[in-house]
Structure 1
Amino acid sequence: MIPAAHRSASLPPSGLDGLDPTWSRLITTPALDGVGRTWHVLDNRVPDPSLTLLCVHGNPTWSYLWRDLLASAPPGVRVVAVDHLDMGFSERTGTTRRLAQRIDDLCALTGALEIDGPVVTVAHDWGGPISLGWAERHVDQLAGVILMNTAVHQPQDVAPPGLIRLVRTPGLLEKVCVTSPMFVRGAMALSRPRPNKDVRRAYEAPYDSPEVRHGIAGFVEDIPLDPHHPTRATLDAVANGLGGLKDVPTLLLWGPSDPVFSDRYLRDLAKRLPQASIHRFIGASHMLPEDVDVAPVVYAWIDRDTAMPPIGDGRTRESLWAAIERRSNDRDPAVVDMGKEGAQRYVTFAELAEGVSDLASGLAAIGVAPGDRIALLVPPGIDLALCLYGAWRAGAVVVLVDAGLGVRGIGRALKSANPQYLIGIPKALAAARTMRWPGVGISTSTLAVSQARALGVRHSLDEIRRRGRSHQTPAEVGGDAFAAVAFTSGATGPAKGVVYRHRQLQAQRDALVDLYDIVESDRLVAAFGPFALFGPGMGIPSVVPHMDVTSPGTLTANSLAAAVEAIDATMVFGSPAALRNVTATASDLSHDEREHLARVRLLLSAGAPVPADVLHGAVEVIPNAEPHTPYGMTEVLPVADISLSQIDEAGDGSGVCVGLPVHGIEVVIDPFDRQGAPKGATTTDPDVVGEVCIKAPHMRDGYDNLWFTQHAASQPPGWHRSGDVGHFDAEGRLWIEGRIVHVISTMLGPVTPIGLEHAINRLEGVALSAIVGVGPKGTQQVVAVIVPDPGIRRSSLAGEGLADLVRSRVGAVDVAAVLVVRSLPVDKRHNSKIDRTRVAAWAERVLAGGRMGNP
């Protein structure tokens, strides 16, 4: 064993990437160990600070981890980042320092630094327990706690992290941590993406020889993997003492791809610190401060405005299930399941009301408590309606994940939402078992004992309903109770969990009823699964046509006609992709099918910008329906509405006209600067382009485990920043021009895509187009990517004739290149939203000389 030698503290070498040498200082704590110890710290030395951040690193990093917090500290905020003794550039003591000693060390250091004002602790990895130990001794100073990928408890029935167990293998600890720099380099390998060479060199700088790496091994050895470890009692005391921090604002920032501190440890901390705000950075791993820029998040949280004004219109609203109960003696069909040959089965309102009541009581009987989360992996239809309204009646929060996200996307969503229960069809339960998705398994069908055991299923819907018949109906929850976590489509990034309370969903239901004059005699065909869920809540029959719900473009005219006939529908809702295929397959309709479609009074299409030609085509198939397109999003729907005749009246413009804001909703524009970023001052003046901001009673409550996303999207408090780009015209109509993430930042100012795309799409020989930017922000070049009609086999530069036509259609916008491709990537939920980010990356690669392929 290489001996642990004493070495004095020192300053870091000059030239380390991102490190200001004026931050470094050496501080001596005279009384430690009876001989005094010297520390290296980074300190921006703000005089008379209003707040101090005390930043505590883990193993095997050093204070360099917090350089971005020092570099971007706002006025009046002091940032002190410590190097533990035996770590970084602090003194090598030649002693063994366990958790209890390190907490004492940190207390001695802050005394020497004379930190006596309000403090927010910021910690990562093993720095978490050390900082919490300090916090529990300094509650009177504590203004907040921020933790990143750490832990305070290791359950005895759960295996510790595999990487730690591996390094603790006899004979490996010294080789990995001391003899070689393997542990330091391994930590860098956990970062996503891997840091550049200069950053890696900076992290290795204080650990350049075996003699100075003993502290790394000491930290690993001090992790209490068994109950008899000498540090176990200290760590348990820290964990048990967290109750004393219940009134301290807390922020948990997490990289969920961490192979060391998985979401299990996040959930444990959230349970011990229930006041905590949480942000999970999808894709980030263990080295969170390297994987993402945490400084804006930290400072936004410190400067947060916690006051969220209530939004309402003073209306008293019915419960989400009131319409079902009101029709509890009604034998009319409530929900119909369709198959290839037409209607397969249905439930009446009376049966649905009884089923919802029994299921709610049964869920309570198996232990579901108000506020528990239940994920529903059930296709649209009878079972989904029963589960949804039964869960709501029981006071549970439903987690709704679109099957179009795919197995990976569903898994990410469920691990983020962390439901206590998961109701699914056997196929979904098999995926849940294989992928280890959270939640007690409940099957929609009764399974054989062996199959249930193999799938980890504890209950079936039939069994729960039987229990419910002899169990008391749970008390109704109020309007402020949480109702749902509904995940977005993921069209512009990882799907986000949108949180709703009961009162917000009640207001959403009522807004739709009022907007479209929906009455009890209406009947709904929803070729978009989530919209079908509103039918029972409105007290009207509903059906989803026979189609692949993960691919709306598979809806045929025959399937739509069969669904309309099944309930004698008066309303049809479909995405643009669904309506395009209905129009394309209309020649297959019989005379009787056309007769049924002619009885529909209202046609709705949404989910993406809806071109007028799509609605005109659909009207030829559904001739007596008034076409409308409601504008909205997962976070708030409806926001605005426009009919086909109003679209025609508005004519061509820069974007898609989505009409006037719905009554009771406020919509404003936050204008762009020359870089395409919102300025922060809102207006309703015409022809001002910027971000669309919305305030409505039926607006989302927030985002689940995405504190920073919620904070950024809620400025000023009470508003929702949609991420959509738009403007008002002189008549007060709202036009949508794209998404902020797709705005092209050119030397002449921002360019938005949708208006240009629509102009190009009207060219003969063009099936679809995407306008994207390549190059650095501020000097981006505009590129047009075209899907020609007829199609092509290989991507290429467009011919001179097509390129000239495209440039002639976009007016003053300078198009640097025109490319033709076989197809463009679109989202799975709507089959309509183009993934322009992916197209832009492809175009940049191609124009730099890369392989063509297809976006």
Structure 2
Amino acid sequence: MKTLGLTETDPFWAFGRLPDRVNIARYLPEMAAKCPDRPAIIVARGPKADWPCISYGELEERSNAIAHGLLRRMDISGKRVCLFVRPGIDLIAVTYALFKAGAIPVIADPGMGRERLLAVIEKMRPEVFIGIPLANAVRRVFRKSFASVRLAVTVGPRFLAFGPTLEGLIRENRQAGTFTCRDTSADDEAAILFTSGSTGPPKGVTYTHGMFDAQVRALHALYGFRPGEVDLACLPLFALFNTALEMTSVFPELDPSHPAKCDPARIVAAIQETEATTSFGSPAIWRRVVPWCLEHDVRLKTLERVLIAGAPVPPDLIESFLNILPVRGDVYTPYGATEALPVSSISGREIVPALTDKIRGGWGTPIGRPAPGIDLKLIEITDDAIEDWREDLEVEQGEQGEVCVRGPVVTQEYEEDPAATQLAKIRAEGTSPAWHRMGDIAYFDADGLLWFCGRKAHLLATSEGLRTPVPTENVFNVHPRVHRTALVGAGVPGEETPVLVVEPVAGALPHTKAERDRFDSELAKLGRRVHIASDVDTFLYHPGFPVDVRHNAKIDREELKRWAEEQLA
């Protein structure tokens, strides 16, 4: 049995050992045999009568045909496959086919920008490309970046295809029968998932089959998913876990690159029509859906569990959400990253109302306690690489430090990026897995609760030392005309002045000096109530914060810092 360097006393064993031989795709044939007629995927787009739906039995047949078809064209085992497929049936069927065949999907956000995306592809050197017609057209225009591609498959109409189509592969291989999953080990590479690039260049994170399997176990242990549940898949890749968790995936009408622009009425319709019981999505989605529900007096009666991740979730959103859920329902805010998920978790009913005053009083944002199997330490803050783990790296309880984690859901390297790996990983003793530096600053309170204070990259370097932004921001975020804030440093590092950049709620942006002065005065009064925010006396008003492409919720603080310095100059 694979132990990943953990001992029998580690909490990981609370949800089972990790087998030596594992392929994450094995869950699909198991589900197809167990409940072939149960809906696996529903695509809730357009009129309900036109919603595509596929059962587990049909999904298994479709993925088998794709795997057979790809292997008949080329031996894709161990090869990197660039995927640009819209969320839905084809994305899941293709991804499972690749896992079955031992291929390695490379998945990046198209919204990261053309130059970054082309650089990522050129660096990864994929040998197979599977994408919609537009993506294939881009491949043909920018041939240099895709020079490594030997097989290209179009997911779409034949008349728009460049080479074979996905439907053609399925049609030609539908009678090929069962496809036996490649015999992969827990340590075999399963996929390369790219970070969003919200605090630097996007990095390719190496996922193994064992890590995917451990994530399934950890999510089940944390949230108690039950067979037969229905998940509103607002984070498309999370739908891959739904098969292993014996759930139905519902893809709503949602642009994954712009979740903040979703139509709340369509999201609610998808929940109600499919009787969704759970969902995982960005705060940007629920900031639109929850107010719409309150305005239209709608209760999401079937929704028992909502996971919100991607950025700190304010207590007012949690409180409002709880008001439209059933009594048994709850909101959870799992903490983690592409490199490690889940790391910790906390429920909305733990936060509201017990921790609301602390959040608004400058404590930071509570992110719970370590998830099953996670070893979590806080270390002294430094930008330098740390080669080997030492006990004296740890900070005292109550002191802010960088979050470091290890465990079966924690990645061990960045693909083709040894420099980034060196900065982010700390070698542990013996055969134990490396520690991953999350790049986040947090502290443990006296009750063992972890409080998030901000990203290391977003620290203010003031004359009094380093300062985290989130605790101060939470003080000002309670203002009724404030949508969100960002504390940035203006000036020379080491002598930076704290500046609060404010994004007002819709219609509240001050345009005249009198309006700005009144807003300034109200914010300054709020700040004076809490020591940590009492020195903030410079306020700037921004019409709409720049945000990350994946969640539309992580603030691009570097851009805001540049903007603030320009305004002050």
Q: TM-score, normalised by structure 2?
A: 0.87
Deviation at 1:516, TM superposition (A): 0.8
Q: State yes or no: 1:461 paired with 2:166.
A: yes
In structure 2, the CA distance between the partners of 1:506 and 1:552, relative to structure 1 (3 Å rule), is: same
Q: State yes or no: 1:620 paired with 2:337.
A: no
CA distance in 2, matches of 1:589, 1:359: 44
Deviation at 1:824, TM superposition (A): 1.5
Deviation at 1:473, TM superposition (A): 4.4
Paired residue for 1:840?
561
Paired residue for 2:80?
373
Paired residue for 1:821?
542
Q: State yes or no: 1:507 paired with 2:224.
A: no
Q: State yes or no: 1:777 paired with 2:493.
A: yes
Q: State yes or no: 1:347 paired with 2:49.
A: no
1:699-710 to structure 2, matched below 5 A, reads: 699-710=410-421
CA distance in 1, matches of 2:4, 2:60: 36
- In 2, are the aligned partners of 1:416 and 1:705 still within 8 Å (CA)? yes
- In 2, are the aligned partners of 1:557 and 1:589 still within 8 Å (CA)? no
Paired residue for 2:375?
666
Deviation at 1:368, TM superposition (A): 3.1
CA distance in 2, matches of 1:475, 1:785: 52
- In 1, are the aligned partners of 2:228 and 2:247 still within 8 Å (CA)? yes
Output one character per residue of 1:775-813: Cα deviation in whole Å (capped at 9) or x when no partner.
222222111111234433769894252453354255255
What letter is aligned with 1:344? Answer: W
Paired residue for 1:558?
265
- In 2, are the aligned partners of 1:380 and 1:532 still within 8 Å (CA)? no
In structure 2, the CA distance between the partners of 1:377 and 1:810, relative to structure 1 (3 Å rule), is: farther
Paired residue for 1:327?
31
Deviation at 1:766, TM superposition (A): 1.9
Output one character per residue of 1:52-92: Cα deviation in whole Å (capped at 9) or x when no partner.
xxxxxxxxxxxxxxxxxxxxxxxxxxxxxxxxxxxxxxxxx
Higher Cα Rg: structure 1 or 2?
1
Q: State yes or no: 1:722 paired with 2:438.
A: yes
Deviation at 1:622, TM superposition (A): 2.8
SS in 1 for 2:163: strand
Paired residue for 1:693?
404
SS in 2 for 1:531: helix
- In 1, are the aligned partners of 2:384 and 2:423 still within 8 Å (CA)? no
Paired residue for 1:246?
none
| Structure 1: runs of 5+ lacking an equivalent | 1-307, 850-855
Task: Tell me which of 792, 813, 830 is aligned to 2:509.
Answer: 792
CA distance in 1, matches of 2:459, 2:271: 40
Q: TM-score, normalised by structure 1?
A: 0.59
Q: State yes or no: 1:443 paired with 2:151.
A: no
In structure 2, the CA distance between the partners of 1:537 and 1:459, relative to structure 1 (3 Å rule), is: farther
CA distance in 1, matches of 2:512, 2:101: 54
What letter is aligned with 2:343? Answer: V
What letter is aligned with 2:202? Answer: A
CA distance in 2, matches of 1:795, 1:695: 52
Paired residue for 1:746?
462
Task: Tell me which of 476, 483, 487 is aligned to 2:190.
Answer: 483
In structure 2, the CA distance between the partners of 1:590 and 1:460, relative to structure 1 (3 Å rule), is: farther
In structure 2, the CA distance between the partners of 1:734 and 1:590, relative to structure 1 (3 Å rule), is: closer
CA distance in 2, matches of 1:589, 1:803: 31
CA distance in 2, matches of 1:599, 1:751: 43
What letter is aligned with 1:694? Answer: V
In structure 2, the CA distance between the partners of 1:446 and 1:401, relative to structure 1 (3 Å rule), is: same
Paired residue for 2:333?
629
1:756-771 to structure 2, matched below 5 A, reads: 756-771=472-487
Deviates more, 1:407-416 or 1:329-338: 407-416
Task: Tell me which of 260, 278, 293 is aligned to 1:586.
Answer: 293
CA distance in 2, matches of 1:446, 1:430: 13
Deviation at 1:843, TM superposition (A): 1.5
Give the length in aligned residue pairs: 530
| Structure 2: runs of 5+ lacking an equivalent | 429-433
Deviation at 1:523, TM superposition (A): 1.6
In structure 2, the CA distance between the partners of 1:759 and 1:793, relative to structure 1 (3 Å rule), is: closer
SS in 2 for 1:415: helix
Bigger relative CO (Cα 8 Å, ≥ 6 apart): 2
Deviation at 1:324, TM superposition (A): 1.5
SS in 2 for 1:327: helix
Deviation at 1:323, TM superposition (A): 2.4
> RMSD of the TM alignment (CA)?
2.6
SS in 2 for 1:702: coil
CA distance in 2, matches of 1:669, 1:738: 14
SS in 2 for 1:768: strand
In structure 2, the CA distance between the partners of 1:794 and 1:682, relative to structure 1 (3 Å rule), is: farther
Paired residue for 1:524?
231
What letter is aligned with 1:792? Answer: L
In structure 2, the CA distance between the partners of 1:823 and 1:561, relative to structure 1 (3 Å rule), is: closer
- In 1, are the aligned partners of 2:229 and 2:246 still within 8 Å (CA)? no
Task: Tell me which of 354, 358, 366 is aligned to 1:657.
Answer: 366
Paired residue for 1:640?
344
In structure 2, the CA distance between the partners of 1:481 and 1:382, relative to structure 1 (3 Å rule), is: same
Deviation at 1:836, TM superposition (A): 0.9
SS in 2 for 1:459: coil
CA distance in 1, matches of 2:4, 2:294: 54
- In 2, are the aligned partners of 1:362 and 1:466 still within 8 Å (CA)? no
Paired residue for 2:280?
573
CA distance in 2, matches of 1:684, 1:355: 52
SS in 2 for 1:815: coil
CA distance in 1, matches of 2:457, 2:182: 45
In structure 2, the CA distance between the partners of 1:606 and 1:504, relative to structure 1 (3 Å rule), is: same
Output one character per residue of 1:167-205: Cα deviation in whole Å (capped at 9) or x when no partner.
xxxxxxxxxxxxxxxxxxxxxxxxxxxxxxxxxxxxxxx
In structure 2, the CA distance between the partners of 1:828 and 1:321, relative to structure 1 (3 Å rule), is: same
CA distance in 1, matches of 2:476, 2:18: 48
Deviation at 1:532, TM superposition (A): 2.4
In structure 2, the CA distance between the partners of 1:539 and 1:803, relative to structure 1 (3 Å rule), is: closer
Deviation at 1:730, TM superposition (A): 0.8
- In 1, are the aligned partners of 2:41 and 2:88 still within 8 Å (CA)? yes
In structure 2, the CA distance between the partners of 1:490 and 1:538, relative to structure 1 (3 Å rule), is: same
Deviation at 1:642, TM superposition (A): 0.4
In structure 2, the CA distance between the partners of 1:839 and 1:363, relative to structure 1 (3 Å rule), is: same
Deviates more, 1:528-537 or 1:348-357: 528-537
CA distance in 2, matches of 1:656, 1:677: 27
